Structure formats: structure tokens, C-alpha cells
Amino acid sequence: MSMVTSIPVDPKKETLYPYWEVIPATISVKFWFFNIENPNEALNGKKIRVSEKGPYAFKLQKRREGIEWSSDKFRIKYFDVETYIIDENATIGSFDDLLTTINPLVAAMNEQLIEPFSKLPSVVSPFIYGTLSGILRIFGQNLFTRQTVRELIFGKRNQLLDTIVTLMKPFDLLGIKIKQFPKEALPPNNTFGLLVGRNNTRTGPLEIYSGIDGKHRPGRIISWKGQKLLKKWKGKSCNMINGSDGTFYDPGLTNGQPLYIFAPDLCRSLRLQFVRATEFEGIAVFDYTFDEKMMRGIDEEPSNDCFCVHSDINKCKVNGFIDLSGCFFGTPLLMSKPHFLNAPHLVNQIEGLNPRIELHESSFLIEPTTGIILGGRGSFMYSVRITENKRFRIIGNLPTSFVPFVWVKQSAYATAEEAKEMRLKFIYPITFAKYVLTSIPIGLAAFLLFIMVKGVNERKNV
């Protein structure tokens, strides 16, 4: 009997199963917002000036619910649940801090209107744009919005969304066809916030391979919400669901091998590139980071063309970010490294950015034999593209700009004692048995988590 079959993954038999179901590690999550210091000057064409505020910190706990196993135990279907708990000790500032930030809703409307409105007669366009600007201001909507950090994170109801469909109907009478937002594009209760619909809410279902059959890598994703192929992008390769959910990666990694994480929130898989072989607490690990090629324009990286959903192809030629418009129903949301690290042309268009590798680069430390992640930090920034539109008064004289909104860092590392237990009780035995080991099923991931928790409990009882 191999080591794989000696640790079953059947929840009726596996005493370690609860530690896979509820991940014991607590993840640190920190938000830094970009406060816009000169909104009025920016609307008059001056360079936007920002200052970083935060971090506003949370402790993240993850668990899995609604778990269903296939009859042969080869596949697992489940929902992810994340719980965010405010970490006052790690927070700098107050969740009641009042900030001026970019308004994604107005940016999205501008993006949706530019093309159809460009076909209007010159005498009609100013009237239509003026009327729309007036309506937005009645509802308190401007290009820059003033909200508390609490509202930005936990949400604030937007009454404009209650009537947006009615407001768009007159444009049909003028023969102007505007893309309608599907129901799923609107946030719950028309409330915008980074954690709206996420905190203590089920997401999924996600279906993965358990690895028991010895044919499929454990944790490899089969489907998301019943889809084996997404319908967000214009090419099959971009709609493919590649890799794992990030809990663990392929065992038996080779030096330089790329890895993939499927990110449901982004409607796509992310590629990790090998950086170096190093050590963590005496354990040989591979250090990975996000692949720069994902953030290149289509001129430099033609493989990104199927992620381009714009009729204006020039929007897809800018280096330095991942364009998420296809995932967010046309909203010009961008994801990049914090402070536009490694994209100086984007840093220069905003005053107040200060990219630093030691603060803003991501790093994932993976033990290559088992594929278990021993620690790491994932850092990314969300920005909003504002397309120049001088006909739209609410946009003002702002040139096309890529405006930072928030950057986020998630991090967690095994302690020295936990790493020692992993090495002695898990990694060494697996390394010794690698010639008979064909795959590492979910049960072994649970075993690792059990060791970590067991070690913590033993120390507490000493």
C-alpha cells in the first residue's frame, strides 16, 4: 500500500478531515486606499495627486461548506466561505476616516457612453451629456466621491442604481443603443463596497480533483459554478479554468515550472512565474511571483489578445496592468502591482506614487516535493481607467488617466516550530517515498494542517 492510500480522504473515515474543511491558519489582510488630494484641480486638467492611507487591517478565516464527494471519491464540490474580522491592532487610522476616491460607477458610465454618444449629431450631444450630468449630480454622483473607509469596505447603498434602467430608456427613443447591465452585474441591494457579498457569504460551487485516482493532480479545478469554460472573454484559451484554487499546487515541481491559480473574483486564471530556489525555516522552497507577461499590452504579448474586449483596441496596448473590464461588465477596472511597480509610464501620470519592490512585490514560498505553500504575500492594486471625454461635464478636462483606488496585501507564514514539524513529519517522509508516490490527495493537505494545529495545541498545553 502506498502512502497515498494509507491516508484516506473519506470524511466518514478521515479524522484529519476537519482541518481541511476549516483551514486553521489565519491570514492577514490589509487595505491601503489612495486619497485624492486635488479633485478640483484634476477636473481642470492638472495631474492627479494622491496620498496613501492605511493600512486598514483584517484577520481572514477560510472554511469550506456544502461539501459533496463524488461516489468514487475522485472529485470534490464545495463552497468557499471567508470571514473578515477587523484587526484594530494592525490598523493605522480609523475606519471612519473620510477619503476622496475615484467613483467607479461614473467611470463605468463614461466608458459605456463614449462610443454610442460619438454618433450623435453635434447639436444633440451637449444637451444629452448635460442632462445626464445633471441627473448624476441630483443623485450625489461625481467623478470623485467622498466616503468613509467603512463605507468603501463594507458598502454604501447607491440609489442611482435603483432607477438606472429607467434613466436609460429615453436613449432608446433616440436610437442610441447602450449596453444594459445584467442583473448579476449589480451588487447586492445596490450597495457598493469591497467586501459586499463576500464576508460570511458562500461563493461557488467549485469542483476539484481529490487526487485519489492517481491520474489527476490534487486540487486541480474541474469547474466553477458548473462551468468548465468561462464565457467572459473572446477566446477559448482565456476562458479556460487553469490550475488550483491556491490552497496547494502540483507536487513534484521542477525548477522554473510555471504555476496557475484560478481567481473567481477576476474571472480568469493567474500565472505564477518562478523567481528562485531558496530556503524558508530550513526547508528548500521555490519562490514564485505573478508573471509580468499577464500585465503586458497585446503588442508586446499577443497571447493577451483574447482578454481584449474593447472596440478601441488601443486600450489593450497599454503595459502595466490586467484589464478586468470583461469580468465586471464593462467597468474599467484594472489590476496591477501596487503603486504600478515596474510600470514607470503609469507611475509618472499620477503624483504621489512610490513603488518599492520590498513592499509591493508578491512572493509565494512553495515546497516543491509536496506542492504545499509554506508562506507568502500576495499584493495587488485596483485602479480605474478614466477615458478622456470633454463633452461629459462630470469628467471635466481630465485626460485619459489610470487612477489608483486601493491596494491589498494578503499574507501568512508558518512559524519556525510549525515549519520544523512539517519538515520532520511530512516533507521528509514524502521525499523518501517519492519513487512510489504518484500523487498527494486532499487528505495529505489535511494532514499538514493537522500537524500545524496539533503543534500549536501542544505548545499551549505545556
* pLDDT of 234 strictly over 50: yes
The answer to whether residues 197 and 264 touch, using CB atoms and an 8 Å cutoff, is no
SS in 3 state form for 215-249?
Answer: CCCCCCEEEECCECECCCCCCHHHHECCCECCCEC
d(CA 399, CA 390): 9
d(CA 31, CA 408): 5
All residues at 6 or more sequence positions from 309 whose CB lies less than 8 Å from its CB, including other chains: 233, 234, 323, 325, 326, 330
Q: Which pLDDT score is estimated for 25?
A: 77
Q: Which pLDDT score is estimated for 100?
A: 98
Q: Which pLDDT score is estimated for 108?
A: 86
d(CA 127, CA 130): 5
Average pLDDT of the segment spanning 171-183: 56
Least confident span in 84-98, 322-336, 367-381: 367-381
d(CA 205, CA 67): 9
Q: Read off the pLDDT of residues 340-359 as tens digits, 9 standing for 90 and up.
A: 999 999 999 999 999 999 99
Average pLDDT of the segment spanning 308-318: 94
Q: Which pLDDT score is estimated for 287?
A: 96
Q: Which pLDDT score is estimated for 6?
A: 29
Q: Which pLDDT score is estimated for 330?
A: 86
Q: Grade residue 461 by pLDDT with cuts at 50, 70 and 90.
A: low
Q: Which pLDDT score is estimated for 14?
A: 47
The answer to whether residues 125 and 117 touch, using CB atoms and an 8 Å cutoff, is yes
d(CA 316, CA 264): 22
- 209, three cell numbers: 480533483
Q: What is the mean pLDDT of the chain?
A: 84
Give the H or E element holding residue 138.
helix 125-138
All residues at 6 or more sequence positions from 9 whose CB lies less than 8 Å from its CB, including other chains: 17, 73, 210, 212, 441, 442, 443, 446
Comparing CA positions, the residue from 199, 117, 106 lying closest to residue 155 is 199
Highest mean pLDDT among 58-72, 337-351, 423-437, 441-455: 337-351
If you ran DSSP here, which 8-state letter would residue 252 be given? Answer: S
Residue 170: how many other CB atoms lie within 10 Å: 11
Q: Which pLDDT score is estimated for 174?
A: 55
pLDDT over 70 for what percent of the chain?
79
Residue 20 one-letter amino acid: W
Average pLDDT of the segment spanning 396-417: 94
Q: Which pLDDT score is estimated for 359?
A: 96
Comparing CA positions, the residue from 189, 196, 191, 190 lying closest to residue 84 is 196
Q: Grade residue 173 by pLDDT with cuts at 50, 70 and 90.
A: low
Q: Read off the pLDDT of residues 11-50 as tens digits, 9 standing for 90 and up.
A: 554 444 666 688 777 899 999 999 999 999 999 999 999 9
* Residue of 235 and 186 predicted with greater confidence: 235
* pLDDT of 428 strictly over 80: no
The answer to whether residues 224 and 204 touch, using CB atoms and an 8 Å cutoff, is yes
Whether the ω angle into residue 332 lies within 30 degrees of 0, i.e. cis, is: no
Helix axes 104-117, 160-173, angle to 10 degrees: 0
- 369, three cell numbers: 516535493
If you ran DSSP here, which 8-state letter would residue 22 be given? Answer: B
Q: Which pLDDT score is estimated for 235?
A: 85
- Secondary structure (DSSP) of 74-89: SEEEEEEEEEEEE-GG
Average pLDDT of the segment spanning 195-209: 91
Q: Which pLDDT score is estimated for 415?
A: 86
Residue spans per domain, the chain: 3-461
pTM of the predicted model, to two decimals? Answer: 0.87
The answer to whether residues 400 and 315 touch, using CB atoms and an 8 Å cutoff, is no
Average pLDDT of the segment spanning 221-238: 94
d(CA 441, CA 209): 9
Residue 281 one-letter amino acid: E
Place of cell 454610442: 116
**Which three-class secondary structure state does DSSP give residue 206?**
strand
Q: Which pLDDT score is estimated for 430?
A: 61
Q: Which pLDDT score is estimated for 223?
A: 96
Average pLDDT of the segment spanning 162-189: 60
* pLDDT of 132 strictly over 60: yes
d(CA 402, CA 122): 28
**Which three-class secondary structure state does DSSP give residue 30?**
strand
* pLDDT of 319 strictly over 60: yes
Least confident span in 83-92, 95-104, 176-185: 176-185
Q: List the Cα angle 107/225/251 in 5-degree steps.
A: 105
